[in-house]
Amino acid sequence: MPATLAVVVLFAYSYQRERAGIERTTLDVCRALMQAIDREMASAQGAMQALATSPNLDNGDLRAFYAQAVEVLKFRPGNFLLLSDSHGRQIMNTHVPFGQPLPLHGNQAELREVFASGQPEVSDLYVGPTVQRLLTSVDVPVLRKGRVTNVLSMQYFGERLGAILEHQDILLNAAATIYDSTGRIVWRNGGSQSDVGRRAGAALAAGLARRREGTVEESGPDGADYVTVFSRSAVSDWTVAIALRRSVLSAALTHSLAWIALGAFGMFVLALALVRAIGARIERSIRGLVNPAIALGYGGPVALPPLHLREAKDVGHALVQAAALLRERTAQRDDAERAERRLRDANREIERSEAFLRGIFEETPDGVLLVGDDCRITRANAQAEQLFGYGQGGLAALPIDDVLVETGPAARPLCERVRAAPLRRGLDGAAQLHGRRSDGSTFPADAMASPLRERALVILTVRDMTENWRQEEALRRTLDDKNTLLKELYHRVKNNLQLIISMFNLQVRALPDSQARQLLLEAAGRVRTMALVHERLYQSRTLSSIALNDYVTELCEQLAVAASAAQRGIVVRVEAARVEVGLDLAVPLGLLLNELVSNSLKHAFPEGRHGHIDVRIVREPDDILRMTVGDDGIGLAPDFDRTKINTLGLRLVSALSGQLRARFEIESRDGVLATVVFSLSGSVPD
C-alpha cells in the first residue's frame, strides 16, 4: 500500500511538475519572443532618432531626406517610413514615389500624443491609408530647439514582426500570437492576413487585463481546448501568447509519465539499489547546474556539462538563453548609454556654440541687423535698437528702407543695394547713407552687408558716423585754410620777385654802362626764373609740385622773347617729359636751364647767324632725368677749359649742378651740347 500510494503520489507530482516545466519553458519562450520584438522596436526607434537629426530636414530638402530614408530601409526590407506634420498630414512616404499627393496619417490620435509628449511611441493596429491594410508603427518626434516639428514613423506589416516568431523553437508545435495593447492580433505564427485585427478570446483577454504573465485555459475557434501562456512587454504593452493544444500537452505528459511508470516498476524490482542510483543521478545533474548558475550570476559565459535529467537540461537551456539575453541586453544598454553620452556631448557643444555666437551678436559695439529675403528685419541686437531708438523687439519685421535711407543724386532703395551685395562689401557710393530713428530724426551712417545665401539672410552692420563726419569736416576746413594760405604765400613771393624784377628794369634804364646793364638784365632773368616757379606752384592743383614740361616750355619762351630770338632767326625747340617736381628741384633746375639757354642765345650765333637751340628732358629708368641743351652755333673756343672758366654763369651752373647732385658735361658737337644728369630722389647718378 505505501508503495502504491508512493507511485500514485509520484505520478501526480510528476504530472504537475512536467506540466509546470512545460509552462515555464513556454513562458521563457514568450519572454524571449517579447524581448526580440522589443529589440526590433528599439532598433527601429534608434534608427529613426538618428535619421531625425538629418540636416536635410533643417534645410527643407525633402527629396534628399527621402533618398536618405530609402537608404536606411535597405537594411529593413518590408518596412516603410513616413514623415508627418503637426496637422496630421503626410509630407513624405517611402511607400509611394516622391512628390505624389499623400493622405492624412492613418493614426491621428497616436500622432497627437507624440506631439504632446515629445516621446517615442509604439502604436496599436490601424489602417494605413496608402496601403489600405492593418499595420502598426513606431513613431519618433523630430525635435528642433526643444519643440516637436514633425513625427517620423516606421510602419510594420504583421508578417514583418511575425518573421521574429519563425526564428524561435516553440514547444509542441504550438501557435504563437502577437497582440497589441488592446488585445488585437498583430500576427499569428502559421496564420494568415485574415487573422490580423481579431480580438483575443474572452478568457485570454481577462487574463491580459489582470496580469503581465500567466497561463489561461480556453477553447479555441476550432473547438479544441488550449492552454495559453502569455507575457506582456513593459515597454510597448504588447503581448506574446503561445497556445498549447491540451491533447498534445497531455500526450507529451503521458509519454513522460510512461518513463516514470517504468521507473516505478524498476523501483519495485531494484528497490533501494535503483533508488540510490537514481538519487545519485539527480544529484549529479543538479550539481552540474551549480557552476552555470554561478557563471550566469557573474555575467560570464554559460557552458553546460552533460546532464542526465530532462528537467536539468530544461533549466540548463533556460540558463543558456538567459545568459545570451543578458549579454544582448547588456550590449544594447552599453550602446544606448554611449549613444546617449554622445548626444549629450553634441547638445552641450551646440549650446556652447549658440551661446558664443549669441554673445558676439549681442556684445558687438555696432548695430547688427539680420535682413530676410523680403528686405524685412528679422532680428536686431541691443546696440541696433538703441541706435535707432526702438525698444526691445521694436525693429523686428520693419522694412530695411524704413530705418536706412540714401540721399544724393545717385540714391536708390537700400533693399536693391542689399540684394545686390556680393560676399562682403560696404554700402558706400555716390549717395550718402542716413539712419532714421523712431522719432523721425536722422543721423549719418555707414553699413557693411554680409550675405548668407544658404539661409536667405543678410547681416547688416550699421555704425553712427556723426562724430566721424564732424572730424572730417573740421579736417577739410583746416586743409582748405592751409591751401589758401599756401596759395597766398606763393602768390606774394611771386609778386615780390616781380617787384624785384621791376626794380632791376628801372635801374637798367638809369645805367649808361652797357656791361652793368647786361649784368642787371641777367640777374633779372634769374629772378624771373624763380618767380615763374612760384607762379606755377600757386596755379597747380596740389600746391606742392609743378609739371616740369610746362614750366620748361614757358621759361624757354620767355628767354627767347627777351633775347629777340625770332627777329634774329634763332628757333628754340623744347621737348620735355611730363614729370611732377617740387620746389627744391624746380628752382635750381630752372636757374641752371636759364644759364645754359641764355648762354647759347648770347654767344652761339654772332653777327646775324641763324640757327636752332634744342632743349630736351628725358626720364630714364630709376627716376633719372637727362637734360640736354644743344645749339648748332659756332661752338666752344679751341682753348676752352671748363675748370679754368671764371664767368659767373658757368660758376653758377657748376654750383647748381652740385645742389642737384647732378653730373654736368659740356662739349663741342656741331655747336655746343651741355648735358645735366640728376636723380629725382636726390641720389648721385652713375
Does the pLDDT at position 137 exceed 70? yes
Answer for the pair 12, 19: CB distance below 8 angstroms, yes or no. no
* Residue of 590, 530, 532, 594 lying closest to 563 (CA atoms): 594
At residue 575, the pLDDT reads 92
The average confidence (pLDDT) of the chain is 79
At residue 613, the pLDDT reads 92
What 3-state DSSP class applies to 593? helix
At residue 358, the pLDDT reads 72
For the ranges 212-221, 607-616, 638-647, the lowest mean pLDDT is seen at 638-647
Q: How far does CA 170 lie from the centroid of its chain?
A: 56
Q: What mean pLDDT comes out for the span 184-210?
A: 83
For the ranges 163-172, 347-356, 396-405, 488-497, the lowest mean pLDDT is seen at 488-497
What 3-state DSSP class applies to 88? coil
At residue 147, the pLDDT reads 92
Q: What mean pLDDT comes out for the span 173-184?
A: 84
Cell of 389: 531708438
Does the pLDDT at position 179 exceed 60? yes
| H runs (alpha helix) in 511-647 | 514-539, 548-562, 565-568, 583-603
CA distance 54 to 48: 10
Q: What mean pLDDT comes out for the span 632-648?
A: 71
Chain segment 560-576, per-residue pLDDT in tens: 887 788 888 999 999 98
**End-to-end Cα spacing for the chain:** 145
Length of the chain: 686
Q: Virtual CA dihedral for 534, 539, 540, 543, nearest 10 degrees?
A: 60
Task: Considering only CA atoms, give the Rg of the chain.
Answer: 55
Does the pLDDT at position 425 exceed 60? no
Where is pLDDT greater, at 245 or 482?
245
For the ranges 1-10, 58-67, 126-135, 503-512, the lowest mean pLDDT is seen at 1-10
At residue 116, the pLDDT reads 92
Instruction: Work out the angle between the directed axes of helices 62-73 and 2-52 (0-180°, nearest 10).
Output: 150
Q: What mean pLDDT comes out for the span 409-434?
A: 63
Query: Which pLDDT band, with edges at 50, 70 and 90, does 543 fall under?
Result: very low
Does the pLDDT at position 42 exceed 80? yes
Query: Which pLDDT band, with edges at 50, 70 and 90, does 614 fall under?
Result: very high
Q: Tell me the DSSP string of 343-368.
A: HHHHHHHHHHHHHHHHHHHHH-SSEE
What 3-state DSSP class applies to 228? strand
CA distance 566 to 581: 30
* Residue of 369, 390, 371 lying closest to 380 (CA atoms): 369
Where is pLDDT greater, at 402 or 534?
402
What 3-state DSSP class applies to 508? helix
Q: What mean pLDDT comes out for the span 76-105?
A: 89
Q: What are the CA-CA distances from residue 310 to residues 17, 254, 295, 315, 381 (Å)?
A: 12, 15, 21, 8, 78
At residue 220, the pLDDT reads 75
At residue 415, the pLDDT reads 77
Q: What mean pLDDT comes out for the span 5-33?
A: 74
Cell of 316: 540548463
Cell of 101: 499627393
- pLDDT exceeding 70 applies to what percent of the chain? 79
Which domains does the chain carry? 42-159 (3.30.450.20), 364-464 (3.30.450.20), 554-686 (3.30.565.10)
CA distance 57 to 64: 9
Spatial CB neighbours of 69, under 8 Å, sequence gap ≥ 6: 51, 81, 83, 92, 94
Spatial CB neighbours of 392, under 8 Å, sequence gap ≥ 6: 382, 385
* Residue of 367, 392, 393 lying closest to 378 (CA atoms): 393
Query: Which pLDDT band, with edges at 50, 70 and 90, does 495 fall under?
Result: low
Does the pLDDT at position 481 exceed 60? no
At residue 151, the pLDDT reads 93
- pLDDT exceeding 90 applies to what percent of the chain? 11
Query: Which pLDDT band, with edges at 50, 70 and 90, does 183 fall under?
Result: confident
At residue 528, the pLDDT reads 66
At residue 429, the pLDDT reads 46
The DSSP letter of residue 198 is P
Q: What mean pLDDT comes out for the span 348-354?
A: 82
Does the predicted TM-score (pTM) go above 0.75? no
- Specify the DSSP element, H or E, that contains 188: strand 185-188
Query: Which pLDDT band, with edges at 50, 70 and 90, does 540 fall under?
Result: low
Does the pLDDT at position 241 exceed 70? yes
For the ranges 134-138, 180-184, 510-514, 555-559, the lowest mean pLDDT is seen at 510-514
Does the pLDDT at position 56 exceed 60? yes
Does the pLDDT at position 91 exceed 80? yes
At residue 430, the pLDDT reads 40
Does the pLDDT at position 659 exceed 80? yes
Highest mean pLDDT among 76-90, 319-333, 514-528: 76-90
